[in-house]
Structure 1
Amino acid sequence: MMYLQYILVFIFGTIIGSFLNVVIYRIPRKESIVYPPSHCTKCGHKLKPVDLFPVLSYILLKGRCRHCGEKISIRYPAVEFLTGFIFFIIFYHFGLSIKALSYIFLSAVLVAITFIDIEHKIIPNKIILTGLIGGIIFRVLLYNYGILDYVIGFALGGGILLLISIISGGGMGGGDIKLMALIGLFVGWKLTLTTLFIAVLLGAIGGIILIILKVKTRKDYIPFGPYISMACLISILYGYDLLNLYIGYIRG
């Protein structure tokens, strides 16, 4: 029975991933995510239900539109599979609970932000606002976990990056500041600090690799949102283990 639940959670995640693909494509272009219905971005042909099965349709169509033959971006099945996998991992760690649902909601927001930031180098306010509304709702539902830690996390997450931005003369984007504040509202101040530390570490490693591979130069802008998102997911799953390991290390 438990295996069936895992499968259903994964499938649900891929379906949400399919919706996130619409968000990722349309929000930066200031298009409605409701109308028109899903269609080929090349020929405009309305997609049928058989074309919309997450991951599976891409495989069956061999990565091309059935009407015009245009190649379908690998991003579509990648987002669907990644979202399903993240939902599965969160469910595996936290079970069927409000806390798990809050992290699943947050992870969906992070997936959308990651791919938009990579392609367009922006973090849309609409997605941040949606995340904040969701964060407030979940904080009410999870009132037994307390409020103060999460308010501090909100202020700390956004405040630290805002301070860095001021000191560096704009070296940190406004979208990153808002994203970090949003994460603080979901995870509390301890995991906010863990997320910041891991994000900086991942960003440094990722930046060095991109420069070595000559994908980027020292002067190129490298989106920080994806590193924040990855760091947040690591913190959600293993943050307290890492904190305990660190505390045990400094205590000897």
Structure 2
Amino acid sequence: MDILIVIPASIIVFALGASIGSFINVVVYRLPARLSILWPPSRCPHCLNQLKAYDNVPVLGWVWLRGRCRYCKNKISVRYPVVEAVTAIIFVIIFWLFKVSILTVGYWAFCSWLLALSLIDLDTMTLPNALTQSGLVLGIVFQMTVGFLSDASWVGLVRHLMMGIVGAVLGLWLFEAIAIASKVFYKDAMGAGDAKLAAMMGAWLGWRYLLLAGFVACAAGALVGIGAIVLSQRKWGQKIPFGPFLALGAIITVFGGEAILSAYLRLFFPVS
């Protein structure tokens, strides 16, 4: 795309991503508390005063208020603008990679689900069924849409549908098997929510890219876990939420899964 189009389009996409990030913050706070994610409008969690529209501008609102509520002066967590900014950056990267396409819209939704689930897992050590199940269904619909549009036929739709179903089933079975195996050693390495998240990822990514995302997640989780133990931040056997690592693996796979798999095949299975 021409740079004169890319720059303003990227600014618009950044603003859209930041707005979605703001809504993700609402979901992360309210869903575990069983509150409506639509009503009431955004308000201070301390004094419950409704935020003005100009105070609720993603990223900038926090800066204008210097990280404090306009009314009660209590601190507003820096996580809010960070989540908004990270979401915006992810949206822009996806837009650069996939341009104006159904893949861009789909992966925006997928990454939004992943971010919400990751933050909830960090806060509560749970992965709500409402998000994993809706994300799985949306992933299947995404696969069907991509298949139909790419082949312009029902054959493509069915092929992608099967790819999504196989990926979902593999994700569920694989991580449930890990959870069962871990109980042999009297340690619950995986929760039921992790298997459901893996199933959701499989629906979006298909079985090949699910395996790649799972490998990246396990490698990242092992490195962080060992690092935390070495730095005495955690004790051996202490649980850490695995959802964020699965989400990280999935997002890395969205960004560069094809390149990573191609490099792996060239390295270990060179063509003679």
TM-score normalised per structure 1: 0.97
Q: 2:253 aligns with which of 220, 232, 235?
A: 235
Distance 1:32 1:15 in 2: 18
Matches within 5 A, 1:58-207: 58-144=62-148, 146-169=160-183, 170-207=188-225
Distance 1:9 1:99 in 2: 15
Distance 2:147 2:259 in 1: 24
Letter in 2 for 1:18: S
Q: Residues 94-134 of structure 1, C-alpha deviation per residue, up to 9 Å, x if partnerless?
A: 11111111111000001101111111111111111221232
Moved over 6 A (4+): none
Q: Identify the range of structure 1 (205-214 vs 187-196) with the bigger mean alpha-carbon deviation.
A: 205-214
Q: 1:56 aligns with which of 47, 54, 60?
A: 60
Structure 2 unaligned spans of 5+ = 149-155
Distance 1:94 1:8 in 2: 16
Greater Cα radius of gyration, structure 1 or 2: 2
Distance 1:213 1:79 in 2: 26
Letter in 1 for 2:104: A
- Counterpart for residue 227 of structure 2: 209
Check if 1:24 corresponds to 2:28. Answer: yes
Distance 1:96 1:121 in 2: 36
The share of aligned pairs that are identical, in percent, is 38
Structure 1 unaligned spans of 5+ = none
In 1, are the aligned partners of 2:221 and 2:242 still within 8 Å (CA)? Answer: yes
Q: How many residues align?
A: 252
Distance 1:58 1:12 in 2: 17
Distance 1:129 1:53 in 2: 30
Q: Identify the range of structure 1 (156-165 vs 206-215) with the bigger mean alpha-carbon deviation.
A: 206-215
Distance 1:168 1:218 in 2: 15
